[in-house]
Amino acid sequence: MYFTKMHGCGNDFIVINDLENKLNNLSELASKLCHRNFGIGADGIICVKRSSLGDIRMEIINADGSYAAMCGNGIRCFAKYLWEKDIVKKDKINIETGDGIKIAHLNINNNKLENVTINMGSPEFEPDKIPSLSSEKVIDKAIEVGNKKYNITSLLMGVPHTVVFGKLNDFNVEEGKVIEKYNLFPQGTNVNFVEIVSREEIRVMTWERGAGATMACGTGSCASVVAGNTLNLLGEKVKVHVPGGILQIEIQDNKVLMTGSAEISFEGVCEI
């Protein structure tokens, strides 16, 4: 099987062309390939599939074999892969995901793809959409988990996200493992610890459901900006520093636009 190893701000993926729909048991395949010691190593695998709804379909499986409806860094890598491999040679691509159609705008200069802007859609705070067992929206809600108190804001940004504001030095990203399983979230939640630098700049570290601590999380960066804007802590255009790089997030007419890089690390062949 041929594969391409890619990353968006250090959030890494194994991208596989499965237009002929030959791959079976993607969950088992992801667990095997993503292992950092015995496999290629990645936060997840991304499969290129045919779509009857858009130009193409993206299917993402986390490193632990669980399905992900959407991934912000992953979809930028996916868009670059489509362009580089001449699968969809357009500067605007309609990509079918588990969270509906996402539009990728490829920023191309002199026939070179510089970065990708994704329309991530609208955030959703309604508890049943996240899902959350709360009877009201989870906005700046005080909870106690593992003998530590947090104020959380939770929303659906393609996938469930919970945002905690404070100084990053006051948190260990591993704390996200406990919050992920908090009884308020029947399907778990991704967790973002956010430090505000200014109304236009933040620093984020994320614990991803199904992958653990990652170098970057696109949906998490979007969720962090939306949460901060909702609490009147941030403006509508924010530079987000993640461990692996920088993302630009903009809220526009209740839609969230994310711009960032996507890079090919290497290509290879493996036996499955």
pLDDT digits over 80-124, tens only? 999 999 999 999 999 999 999 999 999 999 989 999 999 999 999
Confidence (pLDDT) at 271? 86
Tell whether 21 is covered by a domain. Answer: yes
Name the active-site residue from 71, 77, 222, 270. Answer: 71
pLDDT of residue 253: 95
pTM: 0.91
Residue ranges in the chain whose pLDDT is less than 50: none
Residue 11 lies in a domain: yes
- For residues 238 and 264, state if they share a domain: no
Residue 44 and residue 151 in one domain: no
Residue 41 counted as domain residue? yes
81 domain residue, yes or no = yes
What whole-number distance in Å separates Cα of residue 243 and Cα of residue 88?
31
* 147 and 57 in a common domain: no
Domain tally for the chain?
Answer: 2
Per-residue pLDDT, 272: 81
pLDDT, residue 106, reads 97
Does residue 12 share a domain with residue 97? Answer: yes
Please tell me the predicted confidence (pLDDT) of residue 210.
85
Type of residue numbered 250: E
In-domain check, residue 55: yes
Supply the CATH number for residue 83's domain.
3.10.310.10
- Say whether 71 is catalytic: yes
Q: Is the same domain home to 33 and 96?
A: yes
* 246/264 same-domain check: no
Answer yes or no: do 111 and 177 share one domain. no
Domain, as residue range, for 231: 141-253
Residues 73 and 157 in one domain: no
